[in-house]
């Protein structure tokens, strides 16, 4: 069983860092099996639940199933790296991250003023709201 609520997805997109952390644990008692969980980190460095699934056993197939559903739910995936060996996959992901950092730095170099554009917009909205 896989659960990913729309409210959790919306909250993740609106306020969490774009890092997904995964964990799994063994379930004891009446409900046996394994619990697989995906969480994000919110603005207060708290754990923000994204999705969870229960599976019969924790193995590569169950993790792959969970990650495929998570990628569909959150609309995230690095497709080029998926079928590669682990070292090649990590190198592909590292290269993508480096290119993203360079792109963000180039955008930041174009900023004029003390604040980035998104923060300036939020600050302007707050100032406008406070003057009403």
Q: Where are the alpha helices (DSSP H) in the chain?
A: 6-15, 60-74, 86-109, 117-130
The pLDDT, as a whole number, for residue 79 is 62
Could you tell me the pTM of the whole model? 0.56
pLDDT at 102 (0 to 100): 93
Residue 15: closest CA among 117, 130, 115, 122: 122
Task: Please give the average pLDDT of every successive group of 10 residues along the chain, which has 132 residues.
Answer: 81 78 87 88 84 88 85 72 76 85 88 82 91 86
User: Where are the domains positioned within the chain?
Assistant: 1-77, 78-132
The CA distance from 91 to 26, in Å, is 32
For position 81, what pLDDT does the model report? 66
């Amino acid at each position: 069983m896989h659960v990913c609520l729309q409210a959790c997805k919306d909250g993740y997109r609106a306020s969490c860092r774009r890092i997904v952390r995964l964990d799994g644990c063994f379930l004891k008692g009446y409900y046996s099996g394994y619990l697989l969980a995906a969480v994000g980190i919110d603005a207060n460095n708290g754990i923000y639940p994204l999705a969870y699934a229960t599976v019969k056993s924790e193995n590569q197939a169950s993790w792959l199933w969970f990650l495929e559903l998570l990628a569909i739910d959150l609309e995230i995936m690095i497709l080029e790296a998926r079928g590669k060996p682990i070292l090649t996959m990590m190198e592909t992901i590292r290269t993508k991250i480096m290119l993203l950092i360079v792109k963000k730095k180039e955008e930041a170099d174009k900023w004029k003023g003390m604040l980035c554009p998104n923060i300036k917009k939020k600050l302007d909205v707050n100032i406008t709201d406070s003057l009403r």
